[in-house]
Amino acid sequence: MSSELELTCIMCPASCTLKVTVEGNKVVKVEGNQCPLGAEFAKTEISNPVRYVMSVVKVKGGDLPTVSVITRKPVPKNCIWQVMEALAKVEVEAPVEIEDVILRDICGTDIIATRRVKRVLRE
């Protein structure tokens, strides 16, 4: 038994509307994508949907009070809250460089910094 469903591709801002044919939980046909990423997206979205998780964490002694962070790889959708809860407990010390690892090995990936925070001395 195969069934058809519509998905919006989130791989880039083009936001292609995909017509996806599914047998069981296997994707057998993808239409409407303008690039190969669309077919790839449909496959993972049906079998194991993943998302990047981004947030900010507190920084001590920096020129900005927070540093922005992201998962190095997209994580399974059901891991989003696990990542957020772990991040809520984290506080780092300035300076922070882009790509610095903020939290290691969570949901199969690392959390890395995406903003530079310089060290400043305050009284």
Partner 1 sequence: MKALEYDTVVIGGGPAGVAAAIKATELGLKTVLVENRDLLGGIPLQCVHPGFGLHYFKEDLTGTQFIARLLDKLEKLGVERLLKAHVHSIEYLDYNNKVVNVITSKGVVKIFAKTIIYAAGARERHLFEIGVVGDRPDGIYTAGEAQTLVDIYGIMPGKEIVIIGSGDVGLIMARRFTLEGAKVKAVIEILQYPGGLMRNVLQCLNDFNIPLLLGHTAVKVVGKKRVEKVVVAKVDENLKPIEGTEFEIPCDTVILSAGLRPYLGVLEKLGISIDPTTGGPVVNEYLETSIPGIFVAGNALVINDLVDYVVEQGELAAEGAKVFIENNGIPTKNWKLFEKGRNIRLVVPHYVSGERDVIVYARVAYPERNVYVEIPEIGLKLFNYGVRPAQMIRLRLRKDMFSKLGADVNKILLEVKPR
Closest CA to 25 of 6, 3, 41, 40: 3
Q: Which one, 28 or 54, has the nearer CB to partner 1?
A: 54
| Residue 26 vs 73, nearer CB to partner 1 | 73
Number of residues forming the site for partner 1 (CB under 8 A): 33
> b/e string for 31-60 if b means 16 or more Cβ within 10 A?
eebeeeebbebbeebbeeebeebebebebe
**Judged by CB under 8 A, which stretch of 8-16, 22-30, 101-109 contacts partner 1?**
8-16
Residues 6+ apart with CB under 8 A from 38: 9, 11, 16, 18, 30, 32
Stretch that binds partner 1, among 21-29, 45-53, 100-108 (CB under 8 A): 45-53
* Residue 39 touching partner 1 (CB under 8 A): no
The stretch among 4-12, 21-29, 102-110 that binds partner 1 (CB under 8 A) is 4-12
Contact of 33 with 15, CB cutoff 8 Å: no
Binding site for partner 1 (CB under 8 A): 8-17, 32, 34, 51-56, 58, 63-66, 68-70, 77, 80, 84, 98, 114-116
